[in-house]
Structure 1
């Protein structure tokens, strides 16, 4: 092969994402056939926690299950206290809900990783297209918060998985998880939204390509969309998934053009369970993520994913699991780890029990929440704002209620179940 043809082949391999298991920079977490390994090539079980509710709120986390998506919650709050004070609340929430103290505590409990659910609007300014289609202006707030999180994790020798949780336009018909507004074009209905998603991952790759504290990029959280049949609302019966595969392939090519270091993670349709038509992926530094909620903890429940791991010679990661009882947590983690599968619980904190941390509520917030649920009278603006600002302050680690029983279920109990 001539030097010119060799160079062309090399460029093509990178642009298509064809990476051998060894084609990574030393020191980065990466996929090695069916195992995730650390920067030294030693197998690692990722024991993680998702920071759900920090950048993307779901209604149930705020005791507002009826409102669902964050943009709905925000709009209803704005009707009472105004746009400016609503923004003040959300900024205070983001300042307090995750801090170094949370990460220090997680390291002490035994976690070695964190999954960050990102909202695209914290990274791209949602502006009228004055500059024409395709004009993107970066919102530095999101990147600043990622930078701070990296610093806290690095100090604790933990790693970070970046997760695009709310993609431009929203990636599914489960509206709350991606903050999707059904009155606007979805991710799948808009080439502009898809271009924004690819541009965001390209920019993340550009900024963080040399950062080993980042273990991987989780390209799209829980897509759930019927491509072939709109009646298949969440894509659980999808047999092709061609639009999802095409978007993954374009995103992977864009990332690999600038970053060959980081592990990439893909999730199937139907909330990460339907991989029909998505595999194989032409990238060896790739991991398959499945999510597990409210199913039995028997070997049979994960057998389809184990078969995919073996068939396509790639690691498995249980990227989201939780919202259950302590007994279920222990059995679910025991199941994952005996099959050499890492996991990430969901979420670290919320209003309510069964997470490691609970955000306490105050009387004024409870009055507001009661009204927003349609159960009480409308509070005065000043009272509502005071309740929200207090809630934001109480989302801080020092004010949280700590559930030691949950931590015990995550770390001691699963290994007690595995008799020597």
Structure 2
């Protein structure tokens, strides 16, 4: 494979030929997420609970086999046959560094990553290394393996030092590996809500701290470049890869900028084209007509698009997708929206990776079979999670009595406080996140762990094999759409 680099607003190979990065992200692999893997709460607290219930050796076996089945050479071959040119690997720092031994690196985590890189090189699939969860948490949400609703990273020199040092370790190990397309330094940073999501400091009222944000990026890029001058470095915008207006202009060679472009029409409810009732975390609840033209406007207005066009550098849409869980009758609408969105990305020359590759039936290219041993064992708990609203990402699901009660509680709290400037929608959303996703999710973790108590290693392995590509079911309509665009020339 050839090293990739940046030339103007293009990514090119060693011959100067244009390369288009089109692929997906196996979230739920080396960074687990509740809605992807089917468990409640945060990954690191789940690992502790599994250790407590199953014992250290059996818990380690559980997670090792889950990762073995979730993404392996069979998945690499499948994606390559689909036409993908790249896979973005979301990584949790905990696989490479222990909180009890900072700046010391775990060979077990690197060995697993090395094996996947070898498979990808064997089959000609580029890899982007994505540090999805950093020590100290770069944001306050579940996908950074955060169980506290605060982030320490942006306030702590210690965590920033560890972040830079870990990237230097990646650079030392992979500077000569052409299969690595580049380094995605940090997934969805959010520099200025270290106190957690509350109605008055996030979403519409969010105020970036651009000096702090830019200084960290400059420091990290410089540190990586001291060791590895060749690989592309991918930089995401602030506030979950939405904001770019205050970012420094490109300050080094081989920089690509990455936005995340989730849209209301990808999740609903509502027909597409048609009126979508938005339940987005980033906007007040509203209704708006969405079609191809409205999607194109959303793309062109995105600060990531504006930034990259202004500076004539490549744009990579690192995450976007559509959901079909909980809205079975609307699957064709969600897929039509996805089809139009990728067509727009292609029209404007954006590189892209979808979220997500594989999950328990939410938005993945592949989904676990409902009749599989894992879904038979965990299915009832997943239904309880949906009733309680513990998976914050799945905010589009229908209301339930428990969710209604949480809304009423939020309204009562807001009424007692008496501050009318605090958004009703944001108060509801923030309380639900704190109460359901974090507190109730944690309460449910013992129930998940007990499902595997008393099982032999052979039985656990049989259940976790449900995550293997061979036992998963493709979302055929979605994969047909992706194959269509992956077949486009560079």
Q: How far apart, CA to CA, are the structure 2 residues paired with 1:242 and 1:220?
A: 17
Match of 1:137 among 99, 104, 108: 104
Q: How far apart, CA to CA, are the structure 1 residues paired with 2:77 and 2:484?
A: 19
The correspondence of residues 192-207 of structure 1 with structure 2, limited to 5 A, is 192-207=158-173
Q: How far apart, CA to CA, are the structure 1 residues paired with 2:487 and 2:121?
A: 27
Structure 1 stretches of 5 or more lacking a match? 1-25, 129-134
CA contact (8 A) 1:153 1:160 kept: yes
Give 2:221's aligned residue: 252
Give 2:306's aligned residue: 307
* Residue 372 (structure 2) pairs with residue 338 (structure 1): no
Give 1:13's aligned residue: none
CA contact (8 A) 1:365 1:387 kept: no
The correspondence of residues 58-97 of structure 1 with structure 2, limited to 5 A, is 58-64=33-39, 67-97=40-70
CA contact (8 A) 1:364 1:383 kept: no
Give 1:6's aligned residue: none
Distance 1:380 1:286, change over 3 A: closer
Q: How far apart, CA to CA, are the structure 1 residues paired with 2:81 and 2:205?
A: 39
Q: What SS does the corresponding residue of 2:14 show, helix, strand or coil?
A: coil
Q: How far apart, CA to CA, are the structure 2 residues paired with 1:412 and 1:369?
A: 33
Distance 1:328 1:185, change over 3 A: closer
Structure 2 stretches of 5 or more lacking a match? 266-291, 324-333, 386-440
Match of 1:404 among 467, 471, 476: 476
* Structure 1 stretch displaced more, 76-85 or 27-36: 76-85
Distance 1:73 1:380, change over 3 A: closer
Give 1:102's aligned residue: 75
* Residue 190 (structure 2) pairs with residue 190 (structure 1): no
The correspondence of residues 241-390 of structure 1 with structure 2, limited to 5 A, is 241-295=210-264, 298-303=295-300, 304-324=303-323, 325-360=334-369, 361-362=372-373, 363-366=376-379, 379=451, 381-382=453-454, 389-390=461-462
What is the CA-CA distance between 1:367 and the residue it aligns to? 5.3
**1:244-285 alpha-carbon deviations (Å, 9 max, x no partner):** 211111110100101110011111111101123222131131
CA contact (8 A) 1:227 1:235 kept: no
Q: What SS does the corresponding residue of 1:275 show, helix, strand or coil?
A: coil
Match of 1:180 among 141, 146, 153: 146
Distance 1:107 1:185, change over 3 A: closer
Q: How far apart, CA to CA, are the structure 2 residues paired with 1:329 and 1:137?
A: 42
* Structure 1 stretch displaced more, 50-59 or 221-230: 221-230
The correspondence of residues 161-172 of structure 1 with structure 2, limited to 5 A, is 161-172=128-139
Structure 2 length-normalised TM: 0.71
- Aligned-pair RMSD on alpha carbons? 2.9
Distance 1:236 1:60, change over 3 A: farther
What is the CA-CA distance between 1:112 and the residue it aligns to? 0.7
Q: How far apart, CA to CA, are the structure 1 residues paired with 2:221 and 2:110?
A: 21
CA contact (8 A) 2:36 2:362 kept: no
Name the one with the larger helix percent.
Answer: 2
Distance 1:307 1:104, change over 3 A: same
Distance 1:287 1:358, change over 3 A: same
Q: How far apart, CA to CA, are the structure 2 residues paired with 1:159 and 1:71?
A: 29
What is the CA-CA distance between 1:120 and the residue it aligns to? 0.5
Number of equivalent positions: 382
**1:302-339 alpha-carbon deviations (Å, 9 max, x no partner):** 22433211222211000111133322221111110100
Give 1:50's aligned residue: 25
Q: How far apart, CA to CA, are the structure 1 residues paired with 2:214 and 2:470?
A: 43
* Structure 1 stretch displaced more, 384-393 or 257-266: 384-393
Q: How far apart, CA to CA, are the structure 1 residues paired with 2:344 and 2:360?
A: 28
**1:14-44 alpha-carbon deviations (Å, 9 max, x no partner):** xxxxxxxxxxxx9421111112222321222
* Residue 187 (structure 2) pairs with residue 221 (structure 1): yes
CA contact (8 A) 2:356 2:363 kept: no
